Structure 1
């Protein structure tokens, strides 16, 4: 159906024409979005009232003419934001109001019998967010990751850090690793800092931090293969839940989890196309189309696509990606919504692991030289990586009434990849027994994996009162099935390379099959959670019973290890909500992770117990308004039943190890006037408290003790530079040990990033929706070693990279 484009002063023309092209209008971001105005409009024809509101606020309204015929607007009198005034006029009309990313208002018919769409409004005039949807700006106020319910972050008794799509875009993040660089308590340095085929995150000293997509487990089988990689352009937000999460998600490590929230269909039409170029001859394109399919908006769609290609920091290395992510939502009533989702992705790369010796990267070698950070240490005719990744699933939500809601989520994830490359193992020993630190031996590998995961989650949410207590009860059952098929072809210590004058060698050795596994992990769980509110107190109680089964088949040795575990985990937290936005809290949470194997026969040979974790956390959150959130937390995590060596029977392992992490995390995110800012600080005190590997009492090498970050963006809205948004950031990583024996340290470093964004609508209204941005990472091109985890496990950080992007929204 044709749409009218109503703008100030054109009502008469708008209601008589079938289509009127908009005159683009460059809104002043500082005043029209959040400021309130005085309105004194009597009840009138709906078209007249909307036109007067548009004229007064400088807005544009796209509306099918038939929607306005015969409809009256309620009186609009008082102090309102533009959106509040429009919704006030729409009261009783049966129409809803939405806003496109470009700022255009659109109307749509509400389902028959639906409640009045006045929209949830905050005291500052902005609409509240949905925990499952997008966030405007950097500050998220709600989350569903920590509770599986739509809960204000201030009521969650654990740390939750949210990276929004706007922050991802402004900071130019190409992958999850880069998107989390400014998040406290996580470590993204090391291999995946500048090698983009994988994401491997450490949280509160524990790795790997498991990843979830819309609450569904993503299989992990190592950073060099077997794991899916979700492109950040397909996401609305990234949520990092710190500490144990087993009560709601089952098998997990105690440092936390990361939930990736996908883009979903919208009931208002919105479109975006992007194109960019960057360092190392990179080129990329993307599109994001969404909107209703029918007039009643019961069917809506979204289609996201990405294509990129180019080189990397290391010579001869490069990667490419193509993906398509369609989704469809059917919402026959306001109480029911079914979304079906798919993602098909193909990645191809020429990677180089480039795990370097500390002598030559961290320290100069015997000749006073260091390895170039762009040195290619492989064979361009051998090094290769391909990944075919598919995700299919659906989300069903049905509200029986205002008090009972049912959710069902199912996902199928398939990852089929192959990694061919090299990794350094040791220096060459000369004939006279001396060490030649200019040459190194390499293992030549060909690793093939095909991994699948099924996840299924059902839960019921009940809201009711018992006297003065307000309850939000969640009860559910979930199922996870993860199958890993792996073939490892290896050629050990056979290929020698010159570290300081590497050439594009053509190697001749052929790896042979040394490992062939078929592993199976199954999880079944029942969980119960109650969020109890009494006056200003919120008590969160949770418990879960898990049944886990592991079946590991070594198909070369023709052996099979089976193990079944049963574990109950719990969580309890108490939050106090003050009237002025301060929310102190205290919590306790547990985790578990099955461990395959058994003790020495001399000790009874019993199967290993699950690795267990427990965390105590004390914190405070402060949210004075919807555009500011400050959080602070202190915590202690203890992980026990960790495998370590058996002193008496060294051919076996014993389950007597323990790791303890203590720390402090601070984060601030705020939008004040024309300024967006974020700051973070983390301190981690993590030790091997029990071990027989000789590292007892040593500091954990997974993460440097100190880290910090700051980012500030300033939106210029007046003068000759109106429309320009400069932003600058700094990331600090402190000194840290480079191995578990604590024999050497990596130095501290600071890396600076910058972005310059320009809204071309300020240049000419005809360019409304067109934006250009320049992003530079490692602005001053600092050379640094980002981390080490053993003598031959040091990694250079990313050198300066720049990208220029153009996007158009309509």
Structure 2
């Protein structure tokens, strides 16, 4: 009986196991070494494992049938294999991984090798290497190839290709979805790290791989940011393949530009890579008395001692000599009453600036699934300034009435320095639970910004007093002031004599001035007031993927400390805290179409410079914001072309605006609530391999919805925000001929349009809309390329932005740039 039972169970066991099979295999890297701790799952079964130290994996007792095996790990491309399991057999797989530099270098240490208008990955939106189509937030970008083809050198010319981005002035000063963001603030990023610029000059782009904008608040990852969006400048990184290029440009406005870009390995093993970008620019500009000389030195070195560790060093040094251009002034409300070349400078004005950004970063991969990133960015800026500029009001007669033909001027002499340090460290960990794939990020930021003691400013303005000195004019006591005779249209009258000569729009009096003759006041100016603030930020983020659905959850806790009365005996800490959530989801409808939605919150402490200014009317409450957004992200033509659509609503409270008070230009007012609602559409990529296109359109209804408690401000309700056009768009396309007769030739054509904008909200003044047409011709022969860019072909008169009709910022008239480049 016992023998019978044994035989019976043996037969049953044999029968049962005969209905199952096994899968086993080994995974190796490109060098043939075992790939340890790679996630291996059988899709739809809930079964998963990790490769051993020898790269082996195994699944036993599998029902017969067909399976999809998926293997993922940090630093490798996703692996998909179809495996058939037969009864009583073992399917054996030998797999070799392909390195995915993007998956490893979450801080973009190694350079982008692509050479198209399209960019597939975004590191900045999630601090993981996530395809842009899988990020639940709108992202616009411009690659170096677009900037090269358009002959772009400054940031303002690059961002015109982005939906929802508009110039506020022709400084480093923009609106994104109707919310202002400028280089003088600290909400800009370079390689994902916090920085600032000098505000007065747009950053050059010759050392940039691309410019990208995360639309809406990015506060959950980066702390206090603009609710409209955050600009990230990605610098060019070293490449493994040697490349060298020289570029020479000349053209309108006495422009001379020389650029160089060298990259490649520094040793045979290619573990040490370098890149060096150099630039020299000398241009006059189309405006009277304006010029700009720039020297740019931007070296970068990458050290890859092992396949698990990468170290990078970046330096961007920019020295600029120029004049500060405060814009065009016109008479009354007539925009065309003066030339767009009109500048209020004196011949001996100057602005000397020096900026440096030094970045050191380390990426280490502990396992296939866990990596650590740490980066440090040091920003330094110095300014040496002498300027004659508008006092933001007209000159007055003895009764205190404005004389439209005269623009009152003031003089600033200023020296200042500012510094910023940003340390960012975070861990990435990828893992699977059943059919769910996880990307987890945990990080910490420290940001410190200082304007140390030692800066200073002298200001000369007002009207001369008989008793000596100068003061604002008071029509009730004219006997205290010095008068002189002023002749206009053949009529002579006596008017108060200014401390600084008025600018006469009919005479265009740009002279060499003697500042020693002015009566100066040594002032505590906002831009020279010692400032110190620091920010500590802790954040967590989870990206969860289950089949077609991806969910992103993020939470950040910030502690913001501002030293009030910094460097004085009354120095105190003002501390603020903020919890910043982010939630988003992406669902794959088809292989070509993803639908997404997101909700985020943001905040921004008021600028420490404004807060510390005794004339601003503060202190002011911090800015709070929220974003709700949804849309589509699509790919077409075998992935060559992307087309994205976003619909959004942004709400912000406690924004500061100038009170436009002539007696106190520094006075600010805090608006209760603003809302921006809009639609954006972007197309980027290649219609054909030799036909590139980039297209953008945005509709943005950005209004003040609550003007606060002051009755006088209620007229501002439902007013469109300053320099926020309701409609704007752009298109650029380049076609390169491939037939023998025209081989080497290419043509580019494009343009952009902007509708009417408000420039002042208290006494409403507007700028007309405009549409510009641009073109280009290319010819490439061997290693040389000749390129001519023709801009504003219609020679339109237009204004990119402004503060009011005494401070307008016109765009350039018709111009050309001719470029020759040599690649070797």
TM-score (norm 2): 0.75
| Deviation readout 1:339-364 (Å, 9 max, x if unpaired) | 112222211113322242473652x5
| Deviation readout 1:634-692 (Å, 9 max, x if unpaired) | 1111112345899xxx9998867111111111111131123211211111111111223
**2:227 aligns to what?**
254
Q: What is the 5 A alignment of 1:341-420?
A: 341-357=314-330, 359=332, 362=335, 364=336, 370-381=337-348, 383-420=349-386
Aligned equivalents of 2:457, 2:628: Cα separation in 1: 41
Aligned equivalents of 2:412, 2:607: Cα separation in 1: 25
Report the Cα offset of residue 294 of structure 1: 1.1
Contact 1:224 1:419 in 2 (8 A): no
Aligned equivalents of 1:507, 1:671: Cα separation in 2: 55
Report the Cα offset of residue 331 of structure 1: 0.5
Q: Secondary structure at the match of 1:208?
A: strand
Aligned equivalents of 2:667, 2:502: Cα separation in 1: 33
Report the Cα offset of residue 711 of structure 1: 1.1
Contact 1:561 1:596 in 2 (8 A): no
Q: Secondary structure at the match of 1:264?
A: coil
Report the Cα offset of residue 134 of structure 1: 4.8
Aligned equivalents of 1:654, 1:755: Cα separation in 2: 46
Aligned equivalents of 2:552, 2:340: Cα separation in 1: 49
Report the Cα offset of residue 488 of structure 1: 2.9
| Deviation readout 1:490-533 (Å, 9 max, x if unpaired) | 21243301113213313334443212410012011111101100
Provide the aligned length of Structure 1 versus Structure 2: 657
Q: Secondary structure at the match of 2:146?
A: helix
**2:579 aligns to what?**
568
Q: Which runs of 5+ in 2 are unaligned?
A: 1-94, 103-107, 463-499, 612-616
Between 573-582 and 475-484, the greater mean CA deviation after superposition: 573-582
Aligned equivalents of 1:750, 1:411: Cα separation in 2: 39
Report the Cα offset of residue 606 of structure 1: 12
Residues 131 and 587 of structure 1: is their aligned pair in 2 closer, same or farther, counting only changes over 3 Å?
Answer: farther
Q: What is the 5 A alignment of 1:354-753?
A: 354-357=327-330, 359=332, 362=335, 364=336, 370-381=337-348, 383-424=349-390, 425-431=392-398, 435-485=402-452, 486-493=455-462, 494-509=500-515, 510=518, 511-515=520-524, 516-553=528-565, 560=571, 562-595=573-606, 609-624=621-636, 625-642=638-655, 657-673=672-688, 674-691=690-707, 692=710, 693-694=713-714, 695-741=716-762, 743-753=764-774
Aligned equivalents of 1:484, 1:399: Cα separation in 2: 37
Contact 2:109 2:310 in 1 (8 A): no
Residues 554 and 503 of structure 1: is their aligned pair in 2 closer, same or farther, counting only changes over 3 Å?
Answer: farther
Residues 706 and 560 of structure 1: is their aligned pair in 2 closer, same or farther, counting only changes over 3 Å?
Answer: farther
**1:25 aligns to what?**
none
Residues 281 and 642 of structure 1: is their aligned pair in 2 closer, same or farther, counting only changes over 3 Å?
Answer: closer
Aligned equivalents of 2:150, 2:765: Cα separation in 1: 33
Aligned equivalents of 2:801, 2:809: Cα separation in 1: 6
| Deviation readout 1:610-655 (Å, 9 max, x if unpaired) | 3111000011111133321111111111112345899xxx999886
Aligned equivalents of 2:673, 2:251: Cα separation in 1: 45
**Given the alignment of the two structures, is residue 789 of structure 1 paired with residue 790 of structure 2, yes or no?**
no
**Given the alignment of the two structures, is residue 285 of structure 1 paired with residue 252 of structure 2, yes or no?**
no
Residues 433 and 546 of structure 1: is their aligned pair in 2 closer, same or farther, counting only changes over 3 Å?
Answer: closer
Report the Cα offset of residue 749 of structure 1: 0.9
Q: Secondary structure at the match of 1:343?
A: strand
Q: Secondary structure at the match of 2:230?
A: strand
2:112 aligned residue (119, 130, 133): 133
Contact 1:596 1:607 in 2 (8 A): no
Residues 552 and 357 of structure 1: is their aligned pair in 2 closer, same or farther, counting only changes over 3 Å?
Answer: farther
Between 530-539 and 415-424, the greater mean CA deviation after superposition: 415-424
Residues 273 and 264 of structure 1: is their aligned pair in 2 closer, same or farther, counting only changes over 3 Å?
Answer: same
Q: What is the 5 A alignment of 1:229-244?
A: 230-244=203-217
**1:263 aligns to what?**
236
Q: Which runs of 5+ in 1 are unaligned?
A: 1-114, 123-128, 193-197, 365-369, 600-604, 761-767
RMSD: 2.8
Aligned equivalents of 1:653, 1:608: Cα separation in 2: 9
Q: Secondary structure at the match of 1:139?
A: coil
Aligned equivalents of 1:541, 1:358: Cα separation in 2: 54
**1:778 aligns to what?**
792
Aligned equivalents of 1:482, 1:530: Cα separation in 2: 30
Aligned equivalents of 1:473, 1:637: Cα separation in 2: 28
Q: Secondary structure at the match of 2:145?
A: helix
Aligned equivalents of 2:98, 2:128: Cα separation in 1: 22
TM-score (norm 1): 0.77
Contact 2:376 2:422 in 1 (8 A): yes
Between 784-793 and 250-259, the greater mean CA deviation after superposition: 784-793
Residues 696 and 488 of structure 1: is their aligned pair in 2 closer, same or farther, counting only changes over 3 Å?
Answer: farther
Aligned equivalents of 1:428, 1:644: Cα separation in 2: 24
